[in-house]
Structure 1
Amino acid sequence: MRPGPGQVLHFSEDPTIKQFVPHVAKTSTQRESYVWAVGPERCPDYWFPRDCPRAMAWKGERTTERDAERIIGVGSGDRVHAIEYAWLKAIMEVRLFAYRLPADPFQPIGDPPHAVVAQVPVLPLGPPEPVTDLIDLHEEAGIQLRVLDNLWPFWNEVTASTLEFSGIRLRNARR
């Protein structure tokens, strides 16, 4: 599930959104009101239930072969996502939807950019599309999906490595 040309996506478990209005997200460190979305490269970050903690790592320009082999594995692709066992059932059962939005009002946010934001209300380009099986999406994209007892040892290895990484909803991970 990726956006087409001139589009960005917003993933939600709510299939009834008619208009996206800028707001300050509860989990945001930003004080400004935004409509949040993602481009094609960051869509896989959101192939999860909203509150599911996930640790993600991928090869970047400065990634050493040693770190890639140690954390991702040999011949295992360029990217790995990790979740905890407690979330596996939710990943298999969630009803997730993708809203296609026009890319024009959106600007990248973050350094490096991890999302795009708009500061004006945005209408979807059409009805929300059901997102297919999330495990199949990972497989089709060549992204490893690891299921772990606890995310923190993996997260600590990733953040100390030369891999690019992102962690979402980690506050919901086991301690």
Structure 2
Amino acid sequence: MRPEPGQVLHFSEDPTLTRFAPHVAATSGTDTPYVWAVDGRNAPSYWFPRQCPRAMAWVRDGTTEADRDRIIGAGCGERVHAIEYAWLPALQNTTLYAYRFAEEAFHHVSSPGAEPHALVATSPVVPLGPPEPVGDLIACHAEAGIQLRLLDNLWSFWDEVIESTVGYSGIRLRNAQSRPGY
């Protein structure tokens, strides 16, 4: 599930939304109210149940061959998404919906020094149409050529990723199991 040209997406488990008003997300690092959306490049980061912790890594300019082979895997594509085994049933059973919006209402936002990861609107927006079921979330990954890696615990993978030359993103990591030994 990716946006058409001139569109951005918002993913939700709620298929009844008709208007999106800016709000301050509980996980936001800012107190500015936004409506959040993503472009086609970042849409795969949201092919998960909302609360599912995930660690994602991808090849980018400057990624070394050694880091690509170590983090992504030799001959394993350009991107890997990792979740914990405990979240597999939710990934298999969650119905996720994509809302489409006109891109013109949004602008890019990112953390200092980070790649742009989302788009935001500061005024209420209305979807271009009804929400679309995303479908089988595992199949979405397979069709996009994205490895989906199941781990007992995300933290050792995450620690390797953030010290490497690959691009990365971690979402809902506060919901991951505790670090081993803590």
Q: Same fold (TM over 0.5)?
A: yes
Corresponding position: 1:153 with 2:129: no
Residue 27 of structure 2 aligns to a residue whose secondary structure is coil
Give 1:146's aligned amino acid. R
Residue number among 130, 133, 138 corresponding to 2:133 in the alignment: 130
Give 2:28's aligned amino acid. S
2:78 paired residue number: 78
Give 2:138's aligned amino acid. I
1:27 paired residue number: 27
Extract unaligned runs of 5+ from structure 2. Answer: none
Extract unaligned runs of 5+ from structure 1. Answer: none
Write the distance in 2 (CA, Å) between the matches of 1:153 and 1:49.
Answer: 22
Q: Percent identity of the aligned residues?
A: 63
Give 1:166's aligned amino acid. S
What value does the CA root-mean-square deviation take over the aligned residues?
0.5
The number of equivalent residue pairs is 175
**1:31 offset after TM fit, Å?**
1.0
Write the distance in 2 (CA, Å) between the matches of 1:156 and 1:108.
Answer: 27
1:166 paired residue number: 169
Write the distance in 1 (CA, Å) between the matches of 2:9 and 2:56.
Answer: 19
Write the distance in 2 (CA, Å) between the matches of 1:123 and 1:27.
Answer: 23
Query: Deviation digits for residues 58-109 of structure 1, max 9, x if unmatched?
Result: 0010100000001111110000000000000000000100000111110000
With the length of structure 2 as denominator, give the TM-score of the two structures: 0.95
2:117 paired residue number: 114
Residue 69 of structure 1 aligns to a residue whose secondary structure is helix
